[in-house]
């Protein structure tokens, strides 16, 4: 499997890694919120809330009011997914980006393949 580190400029990788971490943190908050309330004293829930609240505030003007509060992080994560999957390849001039085309997830998948393959 070829590495994506050489396939993209460094600024693209940094931007994708940053947006990927935000997206997965928002998904993590949604998952944790299935089992714990937002005001839980559990360390990981506090961390997810503290890290994602500023992002949720930024997206508040475009968040539909009919969404129940636990779904809002998943809704905002969807925006980051759409930017990473559609907007970035289009802006970079790629016509098609296939499965595991995200640099962050591709590197994680390559590491898993090396461990178990």
| 66-115: pLDDT as tens digits | 999 999 999 999 999 988 887 887 777 765 555 446 777 778 888 888 99
Give 38 or 4, the one with higher predicted confidence.
38
Residue-level pLDDT at 71: 95
Q: What pLDDT was estimated at residue 15?
A: 87
Q: How far apart are CA 63 and CA 74, in angstroms?
A: 11
CB 77 within 8 A of CB 26: yes
For the chain, how many helices (H) and strands (E)? 5, 0
Q: Sorting pLDDT into bands at 50, 70 and 90, what band is 1?
A: very low
Q: What is the pTM for the complete model shown?
A: 0.81
- Rounded CA separation 80/76 (Å): 7
């Amino acid at each position: 499997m070829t590495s994506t580190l050489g396939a993209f400029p460094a600024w693209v990788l940094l931007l994708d890694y940053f947006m990927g971490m935000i997206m997965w943190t928002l998904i993590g908050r949604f998952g944790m919120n299935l089992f714990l309330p937002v005001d839980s004293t559990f360390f990981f829930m506090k961390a997810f809330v503290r890290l994602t609240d500023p992002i949720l505030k930024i997206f508040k003007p475009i968040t539909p009011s009919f969404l129940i509060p636990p779904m809002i992080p998943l809704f905002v994560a969807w925006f980051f997914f759409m930017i990473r999957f559609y907007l970035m390849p289009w802006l970079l001039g790629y016509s098609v980006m296939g499965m595991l085309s995200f640099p962050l997830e591709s590197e994680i998948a390559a590491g898993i393949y090396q461990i178990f393959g």
